[in-house]
Chains A and B, each alone.
Chain A
Amino acid sequence: MIIVEQKPVDEIQRMIAPYERVLILGCGTCVTVCNAGGEREVSFLHDALLLAEVESKEISHTFVEHTVKRQCDEEFLDLIAEEANDVDAILSLACGIGAQSIAERFPEMVVLPGVNTSFMGMAKQWGVWDERCTACGDCRLDDTAGICPITRCTKGILNGPCAGTKNGKCEVSPEMDCAWILIYQRLERLGQLDKMRRYYPPRNFRPIPRPRRIMASPSIVAVGGSHG
């Protein structure tokens, strides 16, 4: 899941300053799950912005709130087309994909990001989210016992651990597990320690040609060819 973090209200306040009518648009999937852009957060931000207005003693905005099921599919955005007509800007609480999806769907509309898209990760417990994947496009989890060294090792090295590991923790922080120690322990549990003895040649660090596009089959005729 994509993990995002809401921007500080004062930053949002500055961003919306030029626009009178603002639609606060939530998203019902990842950002709902990570407590940053679901219906509750939309309402909360709405109230926070109203409070900001009251405090500044300058009532210069009107707000509308709405939460769609998923902003990253344009069909869901069709459902807010009418509301979008009546506003000057859409403040999207979805990830960067959602915000861009709005920009593509409504070419004339100003889109403002209400959150910072942070990483791909998972909930560790209530209120705690951890990064787990960097979308490197070259998955090696089979060799590393299901623990990603690219993401979880600070250095992202393929042949660890390095000399900075101490008591299973990383030299960067005594609270951070050394990913390669975790990999070693899990390989041991799985009886696959031989994988530790292998040398993994450097990954292809050539910049990934972006943006990437995946097509279900070559017969699909995609708008814009093989790149998005």
Chain B
Amino acid sequence: MVSSKTDTLRQSSRTKETAFDHSLMPPCQAACPLHMEIREYIDLIAQGKVMEALQVIRDGNPFPSICAYVCTHPCEESCRRVQVDKPLAIRALKRFAVEFGGDRMIDLEADLKYDDKVAIVGSGPAGLGCAYYLRKLGYPVTIFEAYHELGGMLRVGIPQYRLPRQVLDNEIQRLVQIGVEIRTNTRVVSLDLLSDMGYKAIFLTIGAHQSLRMGIEGEDSPGVIDGATFLREVNLGLKPSPGDKIAVVGGGNVAIDAARTAVRLGSKNVSILYRRSAQEIPADPEEIEQAHQEGIEIHYLTTPTIIKRTDGHLNVTCVKMELGEPDTSGRRRPIPIEGSEFSDEFDTVITAIGQAPQIPQAFNLRIGRGSTIQVDPVTLTTTRAGVFAGGDAVTGPSTVTEALATGRKAAFRIHDYLQHKYPKDDQDKDEVISGELLSKTAESIKTRSRQDPEVVSPKTRSKDFRPIEKVYNWGIAVAEARRCLRCGMGAEILFQDKCASCLTCLRVCPYGVPFLDETGTIQIPADQCQACGICVTECPAGAIVLRKPYDRSHISDALAHAFRQATETKTSPLIIGFCCQYGLYGTGLLSGFWRQAKAGVQIVPVLCVAKVEGQHLLRAFEMGAKGVFVAGCGEMCARDKTSFWVNQQIEKVRKVLDQLGMGSERLQFFDPSVMEEDPTAALDQFTEQIGGLYLDSLLKQEVKS
């Protein structure tokens, strides 16, 4: 058919413009220590493509299930949606992708490309991450772990209700699959020994397991235990009985974990003593809230001064504090209030005021502030040749994701070292979307409330160590993912020479983003654009494109695909439907179209029907479609006036259909928000109507001939 030939020709002339990817890094990705492509996988979830989403997640993170449970999500803190309502629930969406992505992939054993053996000391997230990437690079890697199971703090620090052990085991299994050698119950006491064993490089990631001491009288009494040890004992399967009344000292996540663990061990009365106020408490607000729900009381501005053991109980004297001037950490310094002492009795006191690494003297390394190993920030090398270090042992207690990122970085730095290459500057060069949304942009964005995943009720969850957070169902996950503002993948005027300064973009933008600068040139600021694509569809000069190549070409590609399928299946009469991939497919309505639609309907999934241009519709007819329809996602749409803009294109094409005597009723727009009847019924009616028209035309031809 001549049309498809010219179509291919025209496609090729367009590849010139599809070659550019000018999308900018969104703030969530910039905030993630692993720089994961959050925007991409969120968009894929919004489209209902969960397997693809998981693939994107896996590309950036070797152990996504772990992060899906315990990541402290700095991405959510930097999400610009906060200016509209609330940030996206990114971690929960990742959890959804991990659970529903059908991830049963078995990693094949990686090829060995090099002989240089690498030893990894410690199997926390940094060690696991480093082992994964080094093995993928082709090095023989051995992990040495002092305990009998891998995972470091993931295993011995994080309670099971936050990270089920099955999840951890599954992810660690990947390392075994790709061929990492694992030696548990092996404490490394000498680095020289490792060198003698033939290891050419060593990555030290021994964590920060040593609890800091409070330095008060009676701290060593029986019944006083530090948080790290307490959690380790519980996590390694011991079942300590801490008694009924427990005090936990400290305000970090370890303190909260210890308190909640104590509740789960049967303690009736658990209090947390924190020396500063609720504003300064470093623990995750969500965790604090959950701890409250489980009956844990937090006494702010309170610190113990003396612990005395009497009659099997601990008599703890506390003092109330007030906040003075900010100290070096920027937080206000707590000052004891004179005469405010009081005392209370507890069965156990758990101290969780911080942890530090404990580096064996024999390692012969330079130790810096807070007993951490000193390393070069770029190369991660220590004072000993071939010895690298990372994770909590270098930074002091930090997050799982930070540690994974360090592990990955270490793998590449060790690779550089073993291949005698200069360390590559891995600073991300991509331009990051910076700046806030202007208030007028933020106000034009439809609000959609954030949906947090359900959590098991406090009464049920505090009885045992089963995971407390439930995973999203499909509908909620898709709705939540659709809240993404897609920062940095908006429209740009790619061809300034073509721009006729017609001001169409300025007039059609639902967010008022394009503006005339002082020289009279139209500008579309990348940090404000919401990537709806309306200006791209309407630009009469074809000067504007979306920054992401996929957004520019996906409709033409999908149309070509639908046409190929129709040819293969000899569909007749052919009906082509341009349907919103976001709402309908994800919520099952479009999948209903697929299932129930009468034979002959080929769906062209589009990322918002506002991106469908008149030419796409004409081309569908050119390719032989007898009927064409566009179906939006109705009220779920991120914008109010999408159907107005779709109608502009529809009316334009209908006029041509009438002028050509083809009949404008062959092109329909289904907008679920204004449709009174069931959309599938309307579609069926349309297909029948088209079928009838088709039969009529056949009859007419018969009569003619």
Contact = CB atoms under 8 A, between A and B. Distances in A.
A51 B656 contact: yes
A19 interface: no
A125 B540 contact: no
A28 B541 contact: yes
Contact of B659 (A9, A40, A43, A50): A9
B504 A50 contact: no
Given A28-B498, A51-B660, A125 B3 contact: no
A218 B145 CA distance: 96
A47 interface: yes
A38 B500 contact: yes
Contact of B661 (A10, A28, A40): A10
A9 B660 contact: yes
Contact of A43 (B507, B615, B621): B615
Interface string B634-662: 00000000000000100010001001111
Interface in A36-54: 38-41, 43-44, 46-48, 50-54
B216 interface: no
B2 interface: yes
B614 interface: yes
A54 B660 CA distance: 11
Interface in A70-123: 123
Contact of B541 (A10, A40, A51, A62): A40
B500 A32 contact: yes
A57 B465 CA distance: 72
A35 interface: yes
B432 interface: no
Contact of A33 (B10, B498, B500, B662): B500
A53 B542 CA distance: 25
Contacts of B621: 51, 54
B656 A32 contact: no
B624 interface: yes
Given A33-B502, A126-B507, A53 B2 contact: yes
B660 A35 contact: no
B539 interface: yes
A151 interface: no
A47 B559 CA distance: 14
B2 A54 contact: yes
Contacts of A126: 504, 507-508, 538
Contact of A51 (B497, B503, B539, B618): B618
Contacts of A43: 10, 542, 615
B675 interface: no
B507 A10 contact: no
Nearest to B7: A50
Contact of A35 (B497, B498, B540, B619): B540
A156 interface: no
A55 B662 contact: yes
A67 B507 CA distance: 24
Contacts of B659: 8-10
Interface string B659-672: 11110000000000
Contacts of A40: 539-542
B622 interface: yes
A48 B618 contact: yes
Contacts of A48: 618, 656, 660
B705 interface: no
A59 B696 CA distance: 23
Interface string A1-36: 000000011100100000000000000110011010
B7 to A, nearest CB: 8
Contacts of B541: 28, 32, 38-40, 67
Contacts of A10: 659-661
B532 to A, nearest CB: 15
Contacts of A50: 2-3, 6, 618, 622
Contacts of B662: 55
Interface in B494-522: 497-498, 500-504, 507-508
A33 B6 CA distance: 27
A57 B504 CA distance: 37
B193 interface: no
Nearest to A45: B656
Interface string B1-44: 11100100010000000000000000000000000000000000
Contacts of B500: 28-29, 32-33, 38
Interface in B241-269: none
B507 A38 contact: no
B262 to A, nearest CB: 65
B615 A47 contact: yes
Given A10-B661, A44-B615, A51-B660, A32 B622 contact: no
A32 B502 contact: yes
A54 B498 CA distance: 31
A22 to B, nearest CB: 12
Contact of B503 (A54, A123, A127): A123
Contacts of A41: 540
Contacts of A53: 2-3
A54 B620 CA distance: 12
A67 B13 CA distance: 14
B5 to A, nearest CB: 10
A26 to B, nearest CB: 9
Contact of B540 (A32, A52, A54, A69): A32
A10 to B, nearest CB: 5
Of the listed residues A39, A41, A62, A127, the one surrounded by the most CB atoms of chain B closer than 10 A to its CB is A39
Nearest to B617: A47
Contacts of B624: 54
A54 B539 CA distance: 27
Contact of A59 (B2, B501, B538, B648): B2
Contacts of B1: 54
A52 B6 contact: no
A47 B622 contact: yes
B182 to A, nearest CB: 60
B651 to A, nearest CB: 11
A125 B502 CA distance: 11
Nearest to A56: B660
B657 to A, nearest CB: 8
Of the listed residues A9, A39, A48, A53, the one surrounded by the most CB atoms of chain B closer than 10 A to its CB is A48
B3 A54 contact: yes
Contacts of B660: 9-10, 13, 48, 51-52, 55
Nearest to A38: B540
A48 B539 CA distance: 19
A9 B648 CA distance: 18
Contacts of B542: 38-40, 43
Interface of A: 8-10, 13, 28-29, 32-33, 35, 38-41, 43-44, 46-48, 50-55, 59, 62-63, 67, 69, 123, 125-127
5 contacts: A33-B502, A35-B540, A38-B542, A44-B652, A48-B660
Nearest 10 Cβ contacts at the A-B interface = A33-B502, A38-B540, A47-B618, A39-B542, A126-B507, A32-B500, A9-B659, A8-B659, A10-B659, A59-B2
Given A33-B500, A62-B6, 11 more contacts: A8-B659, A9-B659, A28-B498, A29-B500, A32-B502, A32-B541, A43-B10, A43-B615, A51-B621, A51-B622, A53-B3
